[in-house]
Amino acid sequence: MTYLALKNLHLATLTITLALFLLRGAWMMADSPRLQARWVRIVPHVNDTLLLVSGIALAVLIQQYPLVHGWLTAKLLALIAYIVLGTLALKRGKTKSQRVAAWFAALLTFGYMVAVALAHDPFPFLG
């Protein structure tokens, strides 16, 4: 797979991840039973797996790695935070206010990851 095709796959799955997270967050806030639909429990995980695999493949292709290159280390740590916050937002938060706060924090973390990726800098807002 070429660099451009891999990058386009990564960007497409990134867009789908964001769209699904926004949708599931809206359903969570509305207490919608749609959040329990079978496809809602499967599709995001399949897409996120493709996103992660394409991200790893891109890192290998451009020969930049977490724990070696600061911007990828920042993205990896932010990804872990995003996963934890997303889980709190959509499943494990004890109250709706906790879930909503975690959802917003996850969106901010997502935005940070995008900024880091665009700038190739762990501090994209400083410069």
- The pTM of this model reads 0.93
Q: List, for residues 6-42, the tens digit of each pLDDT value.
A: 999 999 999 999 999 999 999 999 999 999 999 999 9
Q: List, for residues 42-57, the tens digit of each pLDDT value.
A: 999 999 999 999 999 9
Three-state SS at 7: helix
| Residue 76 pLDDT exceeds 80 | yes
* Side-chain-side CA neighbours of residue 90 (13 Å): 22
CB 50 within 8 A of CB 13: yes
